[in-house]
Structure 1
Amino acid sequence: MASSSSLDQHEHAQPPSANGTDINEVLQDPSSNGNDIGLQDPFVTDIINIFSSNHDFEIPPVCVFYVPKFLSNSKPEAYSPKVIGLGPLHHSESPLQMRQVGVARNIHDEFRHIKFQELIQGLVKLGPYIRACYQMYLTDKDEKIACTMAIDGLFLFALLCHCNRGKVALTSSDTLLRLLTHTDMSRFPRDEILGDTIMLQNQIPIFVLKQILLMECSESLIVEKNLPRLLLGYCKALSPFKVMENYPYSMALKRTHMLDLLYHLITLTEPELEKLIDEEGRDKKERKKADDQKKEEKKSDNYVAYRPQLGPTGVLDFLSGLPLPKELKKSIELVKGLVGLPWSLLLYLSFIGNKAGVGDQEEYYLMPTASQLSDVGVKFSRDHIRDIRFKRETASIMLPVLKVNVNSEVTIRNLLAYEVMMFKAAGFRYSAFKEYIKLMSALVKTAKDVKVLRDHNILEYTGRYMKDDEVAKIFNGMTEPLSTAKEPAYLDWDMRGINDYYNGLQKVKVRKLVKQILKLFVTILLWLFVALYLFGSVYGYPLVFEKSKSFCGSVILVLSKLLSFSSTRITSSQLLSSG
């Protein structure tokens, strides 16, 4: 793996001097060897280059992150590429590295436009922008990063072409058809490659791929028209969920990388897409005017929000200041005290406080599973991942359709990891995948639950057949990392609604009542048997002793299995010997 280190390594570094010159003299005299400061430390040089770059496009946002430990610890292999390493983080780890080089060389030779050295020189100029995409500081030099990006970018482009065989994006370009003819990808394991290319730490920024093609190819049509089609076709084929069909090609090139594009295609709603298209059609002047107007409206809203208002408390304050009788003033003070109570908090606590000792993070574990809900008539219907909800009037849970295959878990886990990191870095307004996985982890516990969702066409098996218990393990394995999350979630209310609906059914109430009665009966019966055993052993009735011992043990074992009575999970001999 190409060596990378965190910015923290330089946090306490001493400021370097310029060839032995006092740092104060350098700062006071700009004409002195100020540029030599960067030469003392590659980190300083790289940061200076980022600030001094004057290309036409802006510095891209951070988009390639290390996966958080609380996610990766549960299944590390889901976040580290097995076959193909892309980018400076994993390129040197690739077991098929030389095959990647061979494919990249074939693609480069077929373009027949520039020399490979010229491509690297062009990418070196983009070094500051490439570094800005990574959360961690890249210790490799710009030349090595440029060479890595050139090889991996050309290989990724070949893979996009290979996976879009027969599509319009290929048949409309003679160059792409020629590239596909001379590119052999059959020796690469398809499923493993598809999983590797969607991992968060294994991403190539789209703007780098675009710049590689602009330098390699003289046909601008490939970059402006065919590249977004290739990206969209690849993401749609890989996506485990339904994606936006009419996504504009021009917007695809503005996403940061393929995982970001896939996340956008899955979570974007139709109204949001229309809004984005409208914004895309504006020119810069109109967009700036609209932004300025929004800022003014926000300032106005803030002013109104803090304007003194005469609400109930204000009226009571006004009345208490009047020269009223003492008894009436006491009544007003009493009403003021009642109004001042935190009623919303009290109502909330009374709503969730029915189960003492059960916190918000533990409550979804107690939600009935898919098979239990199906037994009482609850249906499962299809909808968008952002529209997951429980419809009480029709007793149906709205869920997105999941295409299950060998890469489903890897894709979902990395989409979740990207969402978690972007929620922290860019302030995502929603956490669609976290809520989806949280609900599915509660619904799916066994193979029986998976079968119920299959029968409702919520789970669709594609590619290699997977057993139902294998699918159940996918969601069970994601439960523990999410239980550490503490931020509130809108879906918790729907899960409580499902609980309330299920627990309010007469059938469920009767079942729970019978179970409680049986448990109480078992408890009383066991204590009677223990008392009988103690009586026989203390007062010397061997017949009573032996009969009660064997009978007590049999009843404990049989009834504990029938009723799943966890408190009796000890053997009869252990219980009787303790007496």
Structure 2
Amino acid sequence: MDSSNQSSQPSNSNHLFDELRWVIQIRRHLEESTEDDHDIPVTIFSVPKALRVSKPEAFVPQLIALGPYHHWQPELYEMERYKLSAAKRAQKQLHGQKFQQVVEHFIKLEHITHAHYHRYLDFNGETLAWMMIVDTSFLLEFLQSYAPEEGKVLRRVPSRMSHLVDKAGRKSAHNMILRDIMMLENQVPLFLLRVCLEFQCSSLQEADDVLTLMLNGFMRALCPFKMMQNFLCIDVTRHAHLLELLYYILVPKPEEQNCEVIDIHEDQNDAGGSIDQTNNDDSSHIKQFFNASWTAASGLNGSVIQYIKQVLFSKPIKFLVKVPWKIITSLPVFSVLKKPVEYLFFSETSANSKTENSSSNQNISKQPLIEEIMIPSVRELVNAGISFSATKGDMTTIQFDLKTVTLYLPTVKLDNNTEVILRNLVAYESSLASGPLVFTRYTELMNGIIDTDEDVKLLRERGIILNKMKSDGEVAKLWNSMSRSVRLTRVPFLDKVIEDVNKYYSSRWRVKTTKFMKKYVFGSWQFLTFLAAILLLLLTSLQAFCSVYSCARWFNPAIIGQ
């Protein structure tokens, strides 16, 4: 009994200590944090579980921890001595000021630092300040390797870190640090980098200029898209951290617009997959028939066109076509042909009429479905006559030109670091409070058009993909393993591109014939039975005819002799 009581006392005391510590922290936070931080948005989030579960190593730092989220992980503590060395070198650049002054300034900014993080930071002010200044010193030293060799340049990378930092990316440690730096949970607020540089420079403006040079060089080397014009307008005061900066370089901030955001549920996978086509009455198909006839005759002269149009759309002609069609399709045998004929000849015009009849307000209010991002592969699109062309720009350069039948996509560079960057950009975009998921929809578009290494090869030959990975198969695996976001929104310009591509692809006779054969010939026992019955009837008729009349004069005598 005594031993059990003694063993329970430490646990009770620890529990009491934790409660007292919590009360002290809450009291201090409420008493000291009088500054208003409501205008500071949260920008450093925890990765949603739905994204993390697909590939955890893409979101958890593997070599170095920056910021408070992963600071105490023992497997990352080996890099602490390199961070301390960077802090010592930064201390020598303070122009006679003491390092303690920088720490005290960081303590004053504690409430701003807390405001940037989504999680509650269980650190006192001085601990957080020392942690952030050490991490900031290392991050600045790493970014200095990307500063251009012109004007006033900060010191070069010291020999102690020469085996870690390599701008050319030939060293694996450099790439590991690069991937860790761009992870969402490993971000450091940029305003802390400005504060550190302000102590090293003569003014805040000079600190901003130096930081801008470093970030320009870093983003040029890191950005997966080959775009140069957007890097010239980097404003370090407008961005919270490196990942956010890269995101808004790739996805410029859109104007305020209404967008619908919904949560993705498992039962939505089959939603909207089947559309009931049988509700269309026969008169609509008759109208579509005349529209198709009118389109075929569009090459004629204007007077002839007007005359033909009046004749085709006259009530007697409509009646003459409508009545036989109703009679034929009402017969038990020929009713089997109704759906195949309507699918083969009226599917395109039916889709066009639906598009014309639906207003823009209805399109906005309609729920975005997962099936709407489905799109044929690159090989299928090329076989259907669609060309691909590369652009040097951001997301807004994605478009489909119906006149030239060309799909324009930005050039993307893929290497060993790209997957981590893409996944964390998707995670950051998914964590934002609102707004359309433009970058996520782009990854879903690439996931849709790339199925095999042959698709990657076609895009690589057209300059859309710059492959620095092992093979085209690795690139296909990268895009196909990209997970969906936790929510789905409408992205008007991308939705329009996907819709136009699908509409053009579905309108090709080669595609329609293939789908027709799969759906109504090989996949319909009723249609196969009908064809077998017709064939049997023809053979029976031929046999009866040949039994009455001699068929030798219609067939090769040599064949008959055999």
> Shorter-chain-normalised TM-score: which range?
0.5 to 0.7
> What does residue 163 of structure 2 align with?
186
Contact kept, 8 Å, 1:386 with 1:432, in 2: the verdict is no
Match of 2:495 among 486, 492, 495: 492
Match for 1:418 among 404, 425, 428?
A: 428
- Cα distance in 1 for partners of 2:188, 2:452 equals 38
Alignment-mate amino acid for residue 487 of structure 1: T
The 8 Å contact of residues 405 and 461 in structure 1, kept in 2 or not, is answered as yes
The share of aligned pairs that are identical, in percent, is: 29
Which residue is equivalent to 1:292?
none
SS in 2 for 1:138: coil
More moved, 114-123 vs 465-474: 114-123
Q: State the one-letter code of the partner of 1:62.
A: V
1:369 aligned to 2:377?
Answer: yes
Does the aligned pair in 2 maintain the 1:114–1:216 contact within 8 Å? no
**Is 2:511 aligned against 1:501?**
no
Cα distance between partner residues in 2 of 1:345 and 1:501: 13
1:158 paired residue among 131, 141, 144: 141
2:81 partner letter: M
Counterpart amino acid of residue 62 in structure 2: K
- Aligned equivalents of 2:152 and 2:31: distance in 1? 41
- From the superposition, tell whether residues 344 and 519 of structure 1 become closer, same or farther in structure 2 (CA, over 3 Å): closer
Q: What is the aligned partner in structure 1 of residue 152 from structure 2? A: 173
Q: Secondary structure at the match of 1:381?
A: strand
- Report the 3-state secondary structure (helix = DSSP H, G, I; strand = E; otherwise coil) of the residue aligned with 1:122: helix
Change (3 A) 1:126 1:390: same
User: 1:111: how far off?
Assistant: 4.2
* Cα offset, 1:345, TM superposition: 11
How has the CA–CA distance of structure 1 residues 485 and 122 changed in structure 2, closer, same or farther, with 3 Å as cutoff? closer
CA distance in 2: counterparts of 1:88 and 1:58, whole angstroms: 21
2:522 and 2:528 in contact (8 A); partners too: no
Q: SS where residue 235 of structure 2 aligns?
A: helix
Other-structure match for 1:46:
29
Q: In terms of mean alpha carbon deviation, does 445-454 or 374-383 score higher?
A: 374-383
Structure 2 counterpart of 1:81:
61
Q: Which amino acid in the other structure matches residue 490 of structure 2?
A: P
Aligned partner letter, 1:513: F
| Superposed counterparts of 1:98-497, under 5 Å | 98-164=81-147, 167-168=148-149, 171-173=150-152, 176-177=154-155, 180=157, 184-187=161-164, 189-218=173-202, 222-243=206-227, 245=229, 247=231, 251-268=235-252, 347-348=357-358, 360-365=369-374, 367-383=375-391, 384-422=394-432, 424=433, 427-428=434-435, 430-462=436-468, 465-479=469-483, 481-482=484-485, 485-490=487-492, 491-497=494-500
- Measured at CA, do residues 454 and 222 of structure 1 come closer, stay the same or move farther in structure 2, by a change above 3 Å? same
Amino acid at match of 1:213: L
Other structure's SS at 2:389 match? strand
Deviations 1:429-480 (A, max 9, x none): x422012012111101111111111111110124xx321111111121124x
The 1:246/1:371 distance shift into structure 2, 3 A limit, reads closer
Give the secondary structure class of the aligned counterpart of 2:129.
Answer: helix
CA separation of 1:48/1:436 partners in 2, compared to 1, >3 Å: closer, same or farther? farther
Per the TM alignment, residue 215 of structure 1 is displaced from its structure 2 partner at its CA by: 2.6
Residues in 2 aligned to 1:129 and 1:250: alpha-carbon distance in whole angstroms: 22
Match of 1:99, SS state, is: helix
Q: Once the 2 structures are TM-superposed, how far is the Cα of residue 122 of structure 1 from its aligned partner?
A: 1.8
> After superposition, where does 1:530-569 map in structure 2 within 5 Å?
none
Change beyond 3 A, Cα 1:489–1:248: closer
- Contact 1:214-1:220 at 8 Å conserved across structures: yes
Aligned-partner SS, 1:46: helix
Distance 1:125 1:452, change over 3 A: same
Quick one: which amino acid aligns to residue 140 of structure 2? F
* Preserved CA contact (<8 Å) 2:94 2:199: no
Q: Note closer, same or farther for the CA distance 1:359–1:208 as it changes in structure 2 (3 Å cut).
A: closer
- Paired residues in the alignment total 395
In 2, Cα distance between the equivalents of 1:244 and 1:58?
35
Report the CA distance shift for 1:498/1:46 in structure 2 as closer, same or farther (over 3 A): same
Would the aligned equivalents of 2:45 and 2:431 in 1 still touch at CA under 8 Å? yes
Who is 1:72 aligned against? 52
Secondary structure at the residue paired with 2:41? coil
SS in 2 for 1:255: coil
Tell me the secondary structure at the aligned position of residue 137 of structure 2: helix
TM-score (norm 2): 0.63
Paired AA for residue 409 in structure 1:
E
Deviations 1:239-269, CA, capped at 9 Å, x for gaps? 1113453655672233111111111222238
Secondary structure in 2 matching 1:163: coil
1:157 counterpart SS class: helix
Query: Given residue 485 of structure 1, which amino acid in structure 2 is its aligned partner?
Result: R
Letter in 1 for 2:396: R
SS in structure 2 of the partner of residue 92 of structure 1: coil
Q: Confirm whether residue 60 of structure 1 aligns to residue 68 of structure 2.
A: no
Deviations 1:18-74 (A, max 9, x none): x9xxxxxxxxxxxxxxxxxx9943134224433337xxx996321111111111111
Change (3 A) 1:387 1:439: same
The change in CA–CA distance for 1:173 and 1:180 in structure 2 (over 3 A counts) is farther
Deviation at 1:390, TM superposition (A): 2.2
SS at match of 2:92: helix
2-structure distance, mates of 1:58, 1:207? 17
Aligned-residue CA RMSD in angstroms?
3.4
1:347 shift after superposition: 4.8
> Unpaired segments of 5 or more residues in structure 2?
1-19, 166-172, 256-352, 533-562
CA distance in structure 2 between the aligned counterparts of 1:203 and 1:359, rounded to whole angstroms: 32
Native 8 Å contact 1:85 1:196 kept in 2: yes
Taking a change above 3 Å as real, the CA distance of residues 44 and 454 of structure 1, as seen in their structure-2 partners, is farther
Partner amino acid, structure 1, of 2:424: N
SS at match of 1:67: coil
* Segment drifting more, 237-246 vs 83-92: 237-246
In the TM superposition, what is the alpha-carbon distance from 1:387 to its structure 2 partner?
3.4
1:86 & 1:449 partners in 2: Cα distance? 38
1:377 maps to a residue whose letter is G
With over 3 angstroms needed to count, the CA separation of the structure-2 counterparts of 1:44 and 1:71, relative to structure 1, is farther
Question: d(CA) in 1 for partners of 2:46 and 2:103?
Answer: 26
- Residue 33 of structure 2 aligns to a residue whose secondary structure is helix
Higher RCO (CA < 8 A, seq sep 6+)? 2
Matching residue's letter, 1:364: I
Name the CA shift for 1:240/1:486 in 2 (closer, same or farther; >3 Å): closer
- What SS does the aligned partner of 2:188 have? coil
Distance 2:236 2:102 in 1: 24
Contact 1:49 / 1:128 at 8 angstroms: preserved in 2? no
